[in-house]
Structure 1
Amino acid sequence: MNQHAIEQIVDEVIAEILQTKQAAPHLQNEIPIGISARHIHLRQEHMEHLFGKGAQLTVHKMLSQPDQFAANETLTVVGPKGSIANVRVLGPARTLTQVEVSNTDAVALGVHPPIRESGNIAGSASCTLVGPNGSLFLKEGVIIAQAHIHMSLVDAENFHVRDGQYVAVKIHGIRPVTFDHVKVRVADRYRLEMHIDTDEANAGFIQTGATGTILKEDLSDIPKSPSSTNSFEINEKIITEKDLIGCEGQTIIVPQFARFTALAMDTVANLRIEIQYRNEG
């Protein structure tokens, strides 16, 4: 067999291995990493307020999760200290309006958003959205998205995890980094992917297309209900890291419009504290 034929066979084998790896990353216990830049989800009524009556989002690029897309439409996000222009809206329209930023973005805007799962906006930070047809003040809705993994039922079975569970994930690369308190979100429609924000990606020199590995399952860290004996009530309007001493692994119940300092939010993540906001009617 000549050298050219050998090289051709080697190339074909390598290509087949790579194709298999990309088609079924869960078989190698690897999770693709997606990096989420700042973005906005809009309710239909807010979309029409900002872009005009009858406005509909138009597709700029389809995203990894089925039927989700980055729209051509953008808005300016305004905070007490600054603004960020051309923040992309994601489609389709949602049932609530939510702005997801990194901590770096939050500092530039002068806001103090909590780290939250998407959709949990009660008591979160405020901002003003400015569009071509007007502006809209959001009393709440600005969050820093909690790192999470989307996976199908089949993926969940392969990884031996369940919906709502928290795990640790090691990201491979030139600066390996491990993320704790990563929430697993399971649904038939989901495509396997872990989502982190740009600050988290920059810390580990991570680019879209990198992979991570689940290192452990933390079954004790599933959020507890407010009625649990492991809950703790804090009545401060401004919560600091000192208020959280002794709350590791617990659920804290705080006033609806309580604000957390930056160090307090770091403590929440490090001590794996679940925050619940008290409805004060």
Structure 2
Amino acid sequence: MMNIHVPVGVSARHVHLNKKDLEALFGIGYELNPYRPLSQPGQFASEETLKIIGPKGQFNKVRVLGPLRKETQVEISMTDSVALGIEAPLRESGDLRETPGIVLSGPKGSVSLSSGVIIAARHIHFHSSEAARYGILDKQDLSVQIEGNRGSVLHHVIARVSDHYQLELHLDTDEANATGAENGDTATII
């Protein structure tokens, strides 16, 4: 495989809501207000934030991302998991089987999730045409090199392929801090 250069996106803790939970937290008929677009087409950070509360700790002002999803999902880092006092598993986004829950608190109410908290597995979004050009398959296991003062090679980076994606490596804040990577840096698939 040829070396493929990929922009880096660092993903801080955040929440994806379904309609039912959005209305429980913000009020009936409420709609998310886009704050800024994200790199993936149609995705946005909203103006709305929540408090997430675990058995041992909590985080305030956790950003809600849009658009709404079928299931509410909370994405945190391993460090966050320890601070909250929960054992969140490493998973691909959307894989919520056998995951711990958490309490979400908003301006109009709270929701006690029985499941839905994950540490998102590092992954690269590929548009289908790019994946075809590079010979990348959906769910393929890749390795990525990150340059810089804390340069590292990360293995087990999952390829995610869709007509709705734009090329970008997604790391959580723990991974970004460990490798010295920042938004907009470039990584290389090796």
Q: TM-score, normalised by structure 1?
A: 0.66
* AA at the equivalent of 1:184: A
1:9-58 deviation digits (Å, cap 9, x = unpaired): xxxxxxxxxxxxxxxxxx97200010000000000011000000001000
**Residue in 2 aligned with 1:212?**
187
Q: Which runs of 4+ in 1 moved over 4 A?
A: none
1:101-180 to structure 2, matched below 5 A, reads 101-180=76-155
**Structure 1 residue 87 corresponds to structure 2 residue 45:** no
**Residue in 2 aligned with 1:250?**
none
* AA at the equivalent of 1:153: S
Q: Distance in 2 between matches of 1:191 and 1:29?
A: 14
* AA at the equivalent of 1:186: V
**Residue in 2 aligned with 1:72?**
47
Shift of 1:158: 2.7
Any stretches of 5+ residues in structure 1 without a counterpart?
1-26, 216-281
1:94-122 deviation digits (Å, cap 9, x = unpaired): 00000000011111111110000000011
Paired residue secondary structure (1:179): strand
Question: Do 2:40 and 2:165's aligned partners in 1 also have CA atoms closer than 8 Å?
Answer: yes
Question: Do 1:34 and 1:194's aligned partners in 2 also have CA atoms closer than 8 Å?
Answer: yes
Paired residue secondary structure (2:175): helix
Q: Distance in 2 between matches of 1:95 and 1:121?
A: 12
Paired residue secondary structure (1:208): coil
Larger helix share, 1 or 2: 1
Question: Do 1:167 and 1:182's aligned partners in 2 also have CA atoms closer than 8 Å?
Answer: yes
* AA at the equivalent of 2:40: Q
Question: Do 1:61 and 1:69's aligned partners in 2 also have CA atoms closer than 8 Å?
Answer: yes
Alignment: residue pair count: 189
Larger strand share, 1 or 2: 2
Paired residue secondary structure (2:181): coil
Q: Which structure has more RCO (C-alpha within 8 Å, separation ≥ 6)? A: 2
* AA at the equivalent of 1:163: D
Q: Distance in 2 between matches of 1:200 and 1:107?
A: 15
* AA at the equivalent of 2:147: H
**Residue in 1 aligned with 2:168?**
193
Paired residue secondary structure (1:89): strand
**Residue in 1 aligned with 2:35?**
60
Superposition RMSD in Å: 1.1
Question: Do 1:173 and 1:210's aligned partners in 2 also have CA atoms closer than 8 Å?
Answer: no
